[in-house]
Amino acid sequence: MKRDPVGQYHFDPETYLAMVLSEVPAYFALQEATAEATTGVVAAQILELGVGTGETAKLVLAVHPMARLTGVDESPEMLDCARKRLPSADLRVGRLEDPLPEGTFDLVISALAVHHLDGDGKADLFTRVAERLRPEGVLCWPTWSSPTTLATR
């Protein structure tokens, strides 16, 4: 993972899994729990913020096989990897700070991405997500903080 001067993260799809497992040992359990948390949600339209390699979307779409996925990630390389796993998804290059895709969604998911924003950025994003959620829509936002990270804040 590299970070550029304006604070954006750039992940390499070839090394992403090893990196994330070193920082989030329960990564696969988190992914499975994310998909499981969407059980019972009636979701025809899903928006994923921070698609990465498509791991979360793949599992969520297994729960919602008829849903249409729109996904956003700032890394074209990560989206190229995700496209192989999610060939029917509408995947777009964009940042969490950018305007969200048009339309409304039954389910918005974002695993291990929103924590990269500061407090104001999170508040802005959640306001914009609320504007895109349908009246019975659901936001599923699993995240992770290691004890070491928490101790140093």
Predicted local confidence at residue 99, as pLDDT: 96
Residue with tokens 């305007």: 99
Average pLDDT along the chain: 83
Q: How confident is the model at residue 129 (pLDDT cuts 50, 70, 90)?
A: very high
55 neighbors 31 (Cβ within 8 angstroms) = yes
> How many Cα neighbours within 13 Å face the side chain of 17?
8
Predicted local confidence at residue 109, as pLDDT: 95
Q: How confident is the model at residue 150 (pLDDT cuts 50, 70, 90)?
A: very low
Residue 6 identity: V
Q: How confident is the model at residue 111 (pLDDT cuts 50, 70, 90)?
A: confident
Q: How confident is the model at residue 2 (pLDDT cuts 50, 70, 90)?
A: very low
Residue 9: CB atoms within 10 A of its CB come to: 13
Measure the CA angle with vertex 10, ends 61 and 143; round to 5°. Answer: 50
Q: What is the pLDDT of residues 32-57, one digit of tens each?
A: 999 999 999 999 999 999 898 898 99
Domains and their CATH numbers in the chain: 43-143 (3.40.50.150)
Residues 128-132 have a mean pLDDT of 96
Q: How confident is the model at residue 65 (pLDDT cuts 50, 70, 90)?
A: very high
Q: How confident is the model at residue 4 (pLDDT cuts 50, 70, 90)?
A: very low
61-76 residues labelled b (16+ CB within 10 A) or e (exposed): bebbeebbbbbbbbbe
Residue 27: CB atoms within 10 A of its CB come to: 17
Structure tokens at 41: 């949600």
Q: How confident is the model at residue 61 (pLDDT cuts 50, 70, 90)?
A: very high
